[in-house]
Structure 1
Amino acid sequence: MNESLGNTLILIGCAIWAVALSFFKIAERHIDSSQINLIKNSVGLVFVTGWMFFTGGWNPGNVDLAWQLMFASGVIGMAFGDVFFLSAIGRLGVGKATSMALLTPVLTLVLEFFILNRIPNEGSFFGMFLVLIGVFYLHGPVKNISKEGFRLIFLACACVAVAQVLARWSFDLDQDLSLGTSAFFRVFGGVVGMAFIMGRGLRSKYLSAISKGPHLKPLMIGAFLGTGIGICLYQSAAKLTTATQLSFLGTTTPIFAIPIAWIIAKEIPQKRVVVGALIAIAGVSLIFLF
């Protein structure tokens, strides 16, 4: 495992994802989160299909369970998880939502222990506690907590944590599963998951989302960056590093997202959000670095 390369790819991916989220925030002023996620995943599927053939073509590996886990990872993470997360962005803003999403590494650590038998290190429990302090601090006093926003973020974090562990499990089962093919299965799972979520309204919502309007340009830019380029970087990193490391370095997203959202989406950062994010990042550092 070339973890240093994997870690670098994660950081680049976090910066690109932060830019994409700001464009999705603009698009969400005109269409709902399920429409954004449907287009995001559809554009990503076209992109990764080309990437798959560019990097060696169709290669599902030698273990059927491996690509099935990757497909399930896409359904859970890219369909359900991203719908919850994009909905949370609409309620909380990019900065607060990405900062609260720092709960993901904590959930990933727990899942890796039970599913992949990876034992947490000594600083894990104190680190988890510090993450929770940071997340609740940035959300503000208890009386001001948006229960719906917190619920959406928690569901998003849980789905993404499960998806990350499934992706890591898939690569552990079959190292011959190519990056391009694994990305295809993951994004295809995201598209199928969105078709299930939207049900009978799929066709009308799809046509509405791609119709000309003020949402279309930011939506397409976000989809190209977030899923098109982002999934290629993410899949490469997922094969090169552990799920916990992937989740840990993913916590750098707020560092990029808060200033980028200020510039692109005109979302003025709150001091509480910045401080809370730093506390939570320190907690994640204790979980994975000590």
Structure 2
Amino acid sequence: MFIGHQAALAAAMAWTAASALWRSLSQFGTAIELNGLKNGLALLFFLPFLFTLPWTDQTRAIVVLLLSGVIGIAAGDSFYLGGLRRLGTQRALTVEAIGPVLASMGGVLMMGDTVRPAAWAGAFLVSCAVVLVAQQSKASSATNGTAFGLLLCVLAVMCGLSGAFLSRHVLITSSLSPMQTAAIRLLGGWLGLLPLLRGRLRPKHLPKGVMAKVVLATLLGTNLGIVLQQVVFQMLPVGQGITLMSTAPVMALFLHRLEGESLQWQGIVAGLLAVSGVALSSL
């Protein structure tokens, strides 16, 4: 179980670092272009797992996973990169913290699950964190398109949850391994973006000197992040694992100076509220 805790915290660190790298690269292409490049590179590293797929025996499961990739990765990650450009790393990750809460609420509405009073309190704390993010961004003269950025991050969460539910269904009902499902989802995400990329596999104005950053961000946030996530879900209860991985907003507090922004009290409080809210909702 100790390994599961370490993997969860490492996943949060990987996603935080990758988010900061992608934000520094946002000037070199649109969210769709950067997402296409990210998925294409990540898919190369997972290519061996695609050759091990039982394409004829698990056709239905593979189709569902491809759809999951289109929704969760092609659409969801594009929305997130767009929101990241407008909100910054810490604020975008704080908004992302509503994911576990929305998942719990969705379970109540669609599956008749029972939610403890603590979970409702957690939802309230995360909502307060998002409100603080909005107020902090509005007060910052360096941030443009705050409302649109918040909308993009919320859409990213909704797409991510939809893709995760589809992926979870396949993991439960098929014989596909987590690494195989991850590879199929990446393939679906990349294929979903191809029509929008119009044949360009990399942004037109991407300097050659920044490709090392692109590769590092992909390895950290996509490849390593997915592997660590699977380890967490294998070693820990889902609620506990999600809580530990949702510490990213607090870790991102240390990146404000690197992104040329001043650390405000609203950001600190929002990060702590988000993590506390997720803990109450998930544990």
TM range (shorter): 0.7 to 0.9
- The CA deviation string for residues 44-74 of structure 1, in whole angstroms up to 9 with x for no partner, is 1111123667xxx335696544433332222
Q: Which residue of 1 aligns with 2:9?
A: 11
SS of the residue corresponding to residue 28 of structure 2 reads coil
Whether contact under 8 Å (2:38, 2:218) holds in the other structure is yes
Distance 1:209 1:13 in 2: 31
The one of 255, 260, 272 aligned to 2:250: 255
Whether contact under 8 Å (2:80, 2:153) holds in the other structure is yes
Identity of aligned residues (%): 25
The one of 182, 191, 215 aligned to 1:220: 215
Task: Map 1:1-290 to 2 at 5 A.
Answer: 5-50=3-48, 57-59=52-54, 64-114=59-109, 118-140=113-135, 146-174=146-174, 176-196=175-195, 198=196, 201-204=197-200, 206-209=201-204, 211-213=206-208, 215-238=210-233, 244-260=239-255, 262-263=257-258, 265-289=259-283
Q: Which amino acid letter does the alignment assign opposite residue 278 of structure 2?
A: V
Residues 117 and 91 from structure 1, CA distance in 2 versus in 1: closer, same or farther, beyond 3 angstroms? Answer: same
- What RMSD in Å do the two structures reach over aligned CA positions? 2.9
Distance 2:223 2:204 in 1: 18
Q: Which amino acid letter does the alignment assign opposite residue 93 of structure 2?
A: T
- The CA deviation string for residues 133-170 of structure 1, in whole angstroms up to 9 with x for no partner, is 12102321797592211211111111112222222222
SS of the residue corresponding to residue 123 of structure 1 reads helix
Whether contact under 8 Å (2:31, 2:82) holds in the other structure is yes
Whether contact under 8 Å (2:37, 2:202) holds in the other structure is no
> For structure 1, which runs of at least 5 residues remain unmatched after alignment?
none
Distance 2:110 2:42 in 1: 29
Distance 1:284 1:132 in 2: 11
Residues 141 and 256 from structure 1, CA distance in 2 versus in 1: closer, same or farther, beyond 3 angstroms? Answer: closer
Residues 194 and 246 from structure 1, CA distance in 2 versus in 1: closer, same or farther, beyond 3 angstroms? Answer: farther
Residues 33 and 261 from structure 1, CA distance in 2 versus in 1: closer, same or farther, beyond 3 angstroms? Answer: farther
- The CA deviation string for residues 47-104 of structure 1, in whole angstroms up to 9 with x for no partner, is 1123667xxx335696544433332222111111111111111111111111121111
SS of the residue corresponding to residue 156 of structure 2 reads helix
TM-score (norm 1): 0.83
- The CA deviation string for residues 195-237 of structure 1, in whole angstroms up to 9 with x for no partner, is 24x1xx4224x34358534543322221122112222223444
Whether contact under 8 Å (2:21, 2:217) holds in the other structure is yes
Residues 36 and 278 from structure 1, CA distance in 2 versus in 1: closer, same or farther, beyond 3 angstroms? Answer: same
Whether contact under 8 Å (1:109, 1:244) holds in the other structure is no
Distance 2:241 2:57 in 1: 25
Distance 1:155 1:189 in 2: 19
Q: Which amino acid letter does the alignment assign opposite residue 134 of structure 1?
A: A
TM-score (norm 2): 0.85
